[in-house]
Amino acid sequence: MSNSSNISFVSKARLWVTNNPDLAFAILLAICVYGYFAFSNELFATHRTTYAIMERFAVLGLVGLALTLCIIAGEIDLSIGSNAALAAVIVVRFTDSLGAINAALIAIAISTLVGLIQGYFIAYLRIRAIVLTVGTLMLLRGVSLFAAEEKTVMLTDFTIPDFISTKMFMYFSPASLLVIAVFVAVALFMQFTRYGREIYAVGGARKEALASGIDLKRPMMVVFSISGFCAGLGGCIIGLRSGTAQALGLQYLLLAGTVAAFIGGVSILGGRGGVIGAAIGTLTVNFLNTGLVFNVTPAFMVQLYLGVLLMVVIVFQTGSQMFDTYQRRQQILGDVDLVRGELLSKKRESPI
């Protein structure tokens, strides 16, 4: 009895892995990275480190989520770092006069609005998102320099940073709980609403989706406003947690977020991947970051590792694409041979 249930569990697991190869690979990679650091450093697998990883997850997870959605829709949002920096500058600058919640709401509203406008223009002008978002990257940098008056803005009252990183339930803080809630909401949205499915459709097969009557404006506006919202929330969390903000900072988020999204199993061709993948990808990047910090690695080496990781993932994806094309070609050739063989044998059988 127990044996049969065991077998069915294994076969179920095998079925799941064949159905979700990307996600299985992401989980495997995450376990490998975590295991490596846990064995090489005894301080790594502790409650405190887990809390620190969750704290990092609060910011990077949002960016990874935003980029995952963008890449699912077949676009990429390069302005995410600038958008986050703008939100951070606004929230830090106005917390003293308006209170943290109001300032954060204003910052998030502005970031979301920026994303919405970007999405509208991308769909209306029918241009690639990279074209417009490079422009807005620069524009938003200018706006945040303007808002910060070219200085590093600072909080004077540090009760809010303390509140944001209070420990709750052993591993979490208000910030990371909020981010997990955002993840759950976006996952439900992507899986169960028409708008979410439209995003997948637009990314995976844009021509077919447009031909079947989807208005490109709606998914683009939804995706980019979620991206703006995530960037804004991430910027607010960073700004309020550290108490300072720089207009030209936070540019490292783009690389880390892209790596997280690609580890989580999105395809650059669009239409693949999901929110769970984004979470796992971000966790992997965080394990790597935190582990490297534990092993006393300079900051630029982290960037090097992330770059190598991204290149490796790209090589794998490109390789699998090439393999797919090769296989399809072989199959077509095989089919042609089959048909030709039949024709030849018929010709031989029939008397002249």
Partner 1 sequence: MNADAPAISRQPKTPIWLANLVDKYTWLVVILVALFVLTFAYGMITAPNFLTWFNFKTIIRDAALVGIMAIGLTFVTLSGNFFLLSMKETAALAIVAFATAMSAGYGFEISFLFTMGVAVVAGALQGILIGLGGNPIVVTLGAAGLFFGIASWWSDNLVISFRRPHGAEWLGSGSFMGLPNITVAFILIAIVAELVLRYSTFGRQVYLIGSNRAAGKATGHENFSMAIKTCIIASACSAFVAIAFSAQVSSAHVNYFSSSFGSSGDMTILVIATVMVAGNSIMGGFGSSLRSSLGAIFISTVDNMMVLHGFNSGPRVLAVGLMIVFSIIVFALVRRGSRVQE
Answer for which of 7, 32, 154, 308 binds partner 1 (CB under 8 A) is 308
User: What is the rounded distance in angstroms from the CA atom of residue 215 to the CA atom of residue 195?
Assistant: 11
Binding mask 214-253 for partner 1 (x = CB under 8 A): ---------------------------------xx--x--
Q: Which range binds partner 1 by CB under 8 A, 19-27, 54-62, 147-155, 327-335?
A: 147-155
Q: Please choose, out of 22-30, 102-110, 142-150, 342-350, the segment that lies near partner 1 by the rule CB under 8 A.
A: 142-150
CB of 172 to partner 1, least distance (A): 30
Distance CA 297, CA 303 (A): 11
Which of 27, 49, 55, 141 is in the footprint of partner 1 by CB under 8 A? Answer: 141
Nearest-5° angle of CA 217, CA 219, CA 224?
95
* Cα–Cα distance, 334 to 156 (Å, whole number): 73
Binders in 252-281 for partner 1, by CB under 8 A: 254-255, 258-259, 262, 268
CB of 147 to partner 1, least distance (A): 8
Largest separation between any pair of C-alpha atoms in the chain: 100
Taking alpha carbons only, the member of 139, 161, 172, 163 closest to residue 247 is: 139
CA separation for the pair 73, 118 (Å, rounded): 14
Q: Tokens 């945040």 label which residue? A: 144
76 near partner 1, rule: CB under 8 A: yes
Backbone phi, psi, residue 316, to 5° = -60, -45
294 contacts 97 by C-beta, under 8 angstroms = no
Q: Distance (Å, rounded) from C-alpha 57 to C-alpha 137?
A: 24
Q: 8's torsion region: left (phi>0), alpha (psi -120 to 50) or beta?
A: alpha
End-to-end CA distance of the chain: 67
**Mask for 1-40, x = binds partner 1 (CB under 8 A):** ----------------------------------------
Smallest distance from the beta carbon of 336 to partner 1, in angstroms? 20
210 binds partner 1 (CB under 8 A): no
238 exposure class (CB count in 10 Å sphere: 0-12, 13-18, 19+): buried
DSSP H helices, 149-205, are 159-164, 174-192, 194-204
User: Which is closer to partner 1, CB of 311 or CB of 338?
Assistant: 311
Binding-site string for partner 1 from residue 151 to residue 190, where x marks contact by CB under 8 A and - marks none = ----------------------------------------
Among 95, 111, 136, 290, binds partner 1 (CB under 8 A): 136
CA–CA separation, 207 and 226 (whole Å) = 23
Per-residue contact string for residues 93-132; x = within reach of partner 1 by CB under 8 A: ----------------------------x---xxxx-xxx
Single out the residue of 113, 139, 292, 293 in contact with partner 1 (rule: CB under 8 A).
Answer: 139
The residue behind tokens 């999405």 is 119
Q: Which of 69, 143, 186, 279 binds partner 1 (CB under 8 A)?
A: 143
| Environment class of 201 (CB within 10 Å of its CB; exposed 0-12, middle 13-18, buried 19+) | buried
Q: Of 34 and 121, which CB lies nearer to partner 1 in the complex structure?
A: 121
Point out which residues pair with 153 in neighbouring strands: 245
- If one asks whether residue 285 binds partner 1 (CB under 8 A), the answer comes out as no
Instruction: Using the rule CB under 8 A, give the single segment among 4-12, 15-23, 184-192, 309-317 that binds partner 1.
Output: 309-317
Residues that bind partner 1 (CB under 8 A): 76, 78, 121, 125-128, 130-132, 134-143, 145-146, 148-150, 247-248, 251, 254-255, 258-259, 262, 268, 298, 300-301, 303-311, 314-315, 317-318, 321-322
